[in-house]
Amino acid sequence: MGPRASEALGSHAMTNLTHIRALVLQGINAVDVVTLGASLVIAETFYKLHSFTLEAGAFLATWYGLRLVARAIFRDR
């Protein structure tokens, strides 16, 4: 955000935005990024459902499944 945006929002709002950004980034880890990438490759390669909704749902289901497996494998690390 530029200086005009910070002036318009005020310091309290900027502090809130900083906290929100930190919370979002705190929840993202390497397992999420790797499984997201793998799911995207799988979806682009194998899912040809001719429907955006079905392909998006299949992608999200794949990501969810890969995350479950990856987190089970790497939970103690």
23 vs 7, which has greater pLDDT?
23
Q: Torsion angle, CA of 25/1/13/18, rounded to 10 degrees? A: 20
pLDDT category of residue 20 using cuts at 50, 70 and 90 = confident
Alpha-carbon torsion 52, 55, 56, 57, what sign? positive
Count CB-CB contacts under 10 A for residue 38: 15
Domain boundaries, the chain: 3-74
Q: What six digits make up the tokens of 73?
A: 């494998």
What's this model's pTM, rounded to 2 decimal places? 0.64
Question: Quick one: pLDDT at residue 21?
Answer: 74
Long-range contacts of 36-39 (CB under 8 A, 24+ apart): 36/63, 38/66, 39/63, 39/66
pLDDT category of residue 47 using cuts at 50, 70 and 90 = very high
